Amino acid sequence: MITDNRFLQQSDSRLDFFRCFLQKPQQVGSAFPSSRFLERRVVTLAGLRKARTVVELGPGTGGITNAALRELPPSSNLLSIEINHRFVSILRRCSDPRLLVHHGCAANLREILHYYQLPQPEVVISGIPFSNISRGKGQRIIEEIHTALSPNGSFIAYQVRDLVSKLGRSFFGNAEVLRVFCNIPPLRIYRWRKKTCRNDI
């Protein structure tokens, strides 16, 4: 089992990320990949050490992907769904058998899980820039996440703007919010838990 999946050097990763941002700024959302500090915070909040199935939406060049793989147990699966074909080719350089890289749209999450014969994930992590996509598409993605997520599962989104909090509230209720300043740009991490019944609201 590979324990350190740094399948791309940091300098190369930043250059690739910046190039993709210039080509499709609305899709990528930022000119800079996530910082190591952000990666550690997201992984810690996700609580991955006992997870069996984890989904990552919008992984980019794989900074949080690497951090997640270092935390996940050997028998787990990490499904990374990325819409940018350049990022997909970078992610597929990783030889860790736990990582499944899918080129597609997060709005088809349940269909993609079925394709790989994966159970409901305990954790969904999202780097999708919800403020850069239409509100309707954002709602469809959040609904897919809520439906696909296992009971008591966690949904974590790291964002520059706060639109995701408004979209997520309709399905999950209010989020726990953590501000991260050691990142360019500074952003917020939102965390929700899927409630098992209406009495939990």
User: pLDDT digit string (tens) for 79-94?
Assistant: 999 999 989 999 999 9
Above pLDDT 70, what percent of the chain? 81
Please give the pLDDT value at position 195. 86
User: What number is the average pLDDT over the span 132-157?
Assistant: 96
Angle (CA) 70-115-24 rounded to 5° is: 70
Mean pLDDT across the stretch 60-70? 93
The pLDDT value given to residue 18? 43
Tell me phi and psi for residue 42, to 5 degrees.
Answer: -60, -45
CB 42 within 8 A of CB 65: no
What's the average model confidence in pLDDT over 126-151? Answer: 95
Structure confidence at residue 24 as a pLDDT band (50, 70, 90): low
Tokens describing residue 52: 């069996």
pLDDT exceeds cutoff 70 at 12: no
Identify how many contiguous H helices and E strands the chain contains and give both numbers: 8, 7
Mean pLDDT of 152-175: 94
User: What is the per-residue pLDDT for 192?
Assistant: 98
Q: What is the arithmetic mean of pLDDT over 16-20?
A: 49
Give me the pLDDT at residue 35, please. Answer: 81
Q: Is the pLDDT of residue 199 over 50?
A: no
**What average pLDDT does range 17-22 have in this prediction?**
48
Q: How confident is the model at residue 187 (pLDDT cuts 50, 70, 90)?
A: confident
The whole-angstrom separation of Cα 71 and Cα 137 is 31
CA atoms of 149 and 160, how far apart (whole Å): 24
pLDDT at 155 (0 to 100): 98
Return the pLDDT at 121: 98
Determine the 3-state secondary structure of 73 from DSSP: coil
Contact 73, 49 (CB under 8 A): yes
Tokens 């997060």, located at residue: 106
Give pLDDT, residue 29: 45
The better pLDDT of the pair 34, 115 is held by: 115
Instruction: Provide the residue count of the chain.
Output: 201
Question: Could you tell me the domains of the chain?
Answer: 10-195 (3.40.50.150)
Mean residue pLDDT of the chain comes to 85
Helix (H, G, I), strand (E, B) or coil at 157: strand
